[in-house]
Amino acid sequence: MVAVEVPPIEVRGVELPRGETAIIVVDMQNDFVRREGKLYVPSAESTVKPIIELLDRARSLGVRVIYTQDWHMRNDPEFRIWGEHALAGTWGAEIIEELRPLPDDFIVRKLRYDAFFGTSLDYFLRVNGLRNLVIVGTVANICVLHTAGSAALNWYNVVLPMDGVSALTDFDLYSTLRQVSFLYKGTITRTTDIKFT
């Protein structure tokens, strides 16, 4: 068994202009967040409360909210990797009750890890002048990191609150934080340390 040292990661507060910022809630669906789900991420449950509080605060200030939703066809080739999950139209693919989207939220149904891949997310963000993306949800080093990566390549400003993302191992969580801070010069923070101006 190997253990490695994690390079230092700065955690700090951040201020974001409300009209140019969106919260992206990644894959908080029954299959990932519920014990009965097909790809249960145990630590996802503890992120629900911080995400709810962040969304409440954001919405009250007019910050846009975007949800990603893994949404697979029958016989999706991704099932060869993960088994069947987030099958279109099933309970498992639904966003969890507590985080149910509101009518004005934008929902991105995606087929792969990256919420920019084969979707209109980039178009939506550009057209609406949204340049800062607070990304929360699960799984940290899978759909959260892939989405953060594409965002960064397109020069969106990425903000990742540690208490709003969940992973299957500590290693995976740290590698997500490392990539976002070191490669993308994104901000690692906590949900309560984000101020909308």
Site size for a copy of itself (CB under 8 A): 44
Tell me how far apart the alpha carbons of residues 51 and 134 are, in angstroms, rounded to a whole number: 11
- Which is nearer to a copy of itself, 31 or 54 (by Cβ)? 31
Among residues 35, 36, 81, 129, the one that binds a copy of itself under rule CB under 8 A: 81
- Closest distance to a copy of itself from the beta carbon of 139 (Å): 9
Closest separation in Å from C-beta 52 to a copy of itself: 25
Pairing of strands 132-138, 21-26: parallel
Task: For the chain, report the end-to-end CA distance as a whole number of angstroms.
Answer: 46
60 contributes a contact to a copy of itself by CB under 8 A? no
Among 43, 45, 119, 193, binds a copy of itself (CB under 8 A): 119
Please say which residue, 54 or 67, places its beta carbon nearer to a copy of itself.
67
Judged by CB under 8 A, does residue 79 bind a copy of itself? no
H-type helices in 61-168, by residue range?
79-82, 121-127, 145-153
How far is it, in rounded angstroms, from Cα 111 to Cα 76? 9
Phi-psi region of 134 (alpha: psi -120 to 50; beta: other; left: phi over 0): beta
Residues catalogued as catalytic: 27, 110, 143
3-state secondary structure 139-168: CHHHHHHHHHHHHHHCCCEEEEEHHHEECC
Q: Which stretch binds a copy of itself (CB under 8 A): 12-20, 30-38, 47-55, 172-180?
A: 172-180
Tokens (6 digits) for 25: 């809630």
| Interatomic CA distance for residues 5 and 25, integer angstroms | 30
The correct pick among 73, 91, 98, 195 for binding a copy of itself (CB under 8 A) is: 73
| Binding flag, residue 61, a copy of itself (CB under 8 A) | no
| Interface segment toward a copy of itself; rule CB under 8 A; list 18-26, 33-41, 50-58, 124-132 | 124-132
- Among the listed ranges 12-20, 48-56, 58-66, 163-171, the one in contact with a copy of itself (CB under 8 A) is 163-171
Contact 50, 98 (CB under 8 A): no
Q: Does 107 bind a copy of itself (CB under 8 A)?
A: no
